[in-house]
């Protein structure tokens, strides 16, 4: 008898980014650049999470432009659209459908405990919509549709991954194994980048412009934002996030982009001032962003190529998403088409 070869499928990863603005250096260091490193080892699905973006009111033309730009930026950082499935969430209608199904398997009490809902509703007090409340259910569907094994998560998303696992376990418990239960993936390189103006809060693309470095910021803008970055009234350069959050943030950006260890970096700045640190951080940021921006402009000039990437991505994603959605619908008891 022929020996049976066991073909092990690569583990699958699903991650996303909202086109709620120009991605920041935080998105890049904490998420995007890691995505590129995962491509060889994993079967990667990266979505531009445009459905999630409308939990906060968006200007239509801006949302469209930001979404296209986001795709061009993903390509510009080196994500290969053949190796990775790159797609717009709204192009795969199964996301919205799965979210509805899962809403009916999620309890109000569970959603009420989500800290991001509390934070975001405080930030957008004039528009606390139901989408903002059930956002983690849409996210659970995003993950479960692709039977993802791993989900790269930052500290702010662990609660959402937990709820996704709870919902999937509940569903599987009722209807036998429909969903893969995802695990968190914690990237080796994944510093949390803080706001330049309020360094105790994370850097966010929808915050005021001076508080973040956008991936499309020109060198002049980077230098200006660095000059204005909040530090403290001392002069010593040391890594102490609790007492010196501004300086520590600049140091960790420097380490994240150069790959140097914190000890070495702190030692190399021991006889220097905050101005020198800011200049050095600006230099490494500009060096990082400049090749990305060149590629970005090249992709933006080729709309038909971008279109072909998003069409192919949607087709590839839909095929898998449909398989899971149909299975879940059948289990629930809907009549097959």
Residues in the chain: 337
Among residues 17 and 164, whose Cβ is nearest to ligand AQP? 17
Site mask for ligand AQP (CB under 6 A), range 154-193, x = bound:
x-xx----------------------------------xx
Residue 162 DSSP class: H
Query: Does position 98 bind ligand AQP by CB under 6 A?
Result: no
| Per-residue tokens: 106 | 């999620």
Question: Binders of ligand AQP among 116-155, rule CB under 6 A?
Answer: 154
For the question of residue 205 being annotated catalytic, the response is: yes
Characterize the bridge pairing of strands 150-152 and 85-88: unpaired
Annotation says 36 is catalytic: no
CB of 288 to ligand AQP, least distance (A): 15
> Nearer to ligand AQP by C-beta: 26 or 328?
26
Backbone dihedral angles phi then psi of residue 45, each to the nearest 5 degrees:
-115, 120
Q: Which of the following is catalytic: 123, 205, 225, 244?
A: 205
Determine, following the binding rule CB under 6 A, whether residue 24 of this chain makes contact with ligand AQP: yes
- Strand pairing class (183-185; 85-88): unpaired
CA distance 98 to 62: 27
**Minimum CB distance to ligand AQP, residue 185 (Å):** 11
As a whole number of angstroms, the distance between CA 223 and CA 236 comes to 21
Q: How far apart are CA 63 and CA 245, in angstroms?
A: 32
Q: Which of 47, 203, 256, 285 binds ligand AQP (CB under 6 A)?
A: 203
Nearer residue to ligand AQP within complex by CB, 123 or 330 = 123
Q: Which is nearer to ligand AQP, 154 or 219 (CB)?
A: 154
Examine residue 20 and tell whether it contacts ligand AQP (CB under 6 A): yes
Nearer to ligand AQP by C-beta: 81 or 152? 152
**Is the distance from CB of 108 to CB of 136 less than 8 angstroms?**
no
Least distance to ligand AQP, CB of residue 26, Å: 3
Residue 22 has which token pair? 């120009």
Nearest 5°: the CA angle 174, 176, 178 is: 105
State which of residues 12, 33, 202, 278 lies at the interface with ligand AQP (CB under 6 A). 202
Q: How many C-beta atoms lie closer than 10 Å to residue 199's C-beta?
A: 23
Known catalytic membership, residue 62: no
Burial of 29 from C-beta contacts in 10 A (0-12 / 13-18 / 19+): buried
Where do contacts with ligand AQP occur on this chain (CB under 6 A)? 16-18, 20, 24, 26-27, 29-31, 49, 154, 156-157, 192-193, 202-206
């Amino acid at each position: 008898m022929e020996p049976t070869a066991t073909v092990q499928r690569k583990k699958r990863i699903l991650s996303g980014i909202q086109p709620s603005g120009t991605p920041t250096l935080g998105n890049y260091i904490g998420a995007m650049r890691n995505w590129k490193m995962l491509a060889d080892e994993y079967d990667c699905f990266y979505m531009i999470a445009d459905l999630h973006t409308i939990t906060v009111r968006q200007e239509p033309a801006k949302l469209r432009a930001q979404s296209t730009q986001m795709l061009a930026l993903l390509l510009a950082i080196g994500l290969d659209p053949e190796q990775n499935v790159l797609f717009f969430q709204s192009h795969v209608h199964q996301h919205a459908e799965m979210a509805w199904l899962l809403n009916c398997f999620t309890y109000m009490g569970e959603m009420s405990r989500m800290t991001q809902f509390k934070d975001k509703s405080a930030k957008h007090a004039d528009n606390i919509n139901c989408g903002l409340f059930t956002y983690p259910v849409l996210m659970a569907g995003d993950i479960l549709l692709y039977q993802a094994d791993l989900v790269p998560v930052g500290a702010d998303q662990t609660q959402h991954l937990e709820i996704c696992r709870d919902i999937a376990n509940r569903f599987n418990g009722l209807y036998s194994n429909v969903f893969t239960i995802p695990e968190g993936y914690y990237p080796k390189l994944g510093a949390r980048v803080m706001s330049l103006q309020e360094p105790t809060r994370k850097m966010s693309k929808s915050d005021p412009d001076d508080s973040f470095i956008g991936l499309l910021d020109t060198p002049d803008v980077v230098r200006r934002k660095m000059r204005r970055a909040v530090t403290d009234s001392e002069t010593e350069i040391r890594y102490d996030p609790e007492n010196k959050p501004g300086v520590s943030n600049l140091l960790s950006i420097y380490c994240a982009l150069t790959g140097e260890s914190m000890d070495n970096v702190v030692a190399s700045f021991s006889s220097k001032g905050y101005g020198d640190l800011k200049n050095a951080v600006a230099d490494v940021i500009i060096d990082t962003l400049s090749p990305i921006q060149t590629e970005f402009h090249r992709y933006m000039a080729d709309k038909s190529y971008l279109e072909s990437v998003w069409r192919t991505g949607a087709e590839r994603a839909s095929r898998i998403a449909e398989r899971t959605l149909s299975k879940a619908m059948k289990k629930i008891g809907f009549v097959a088409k």
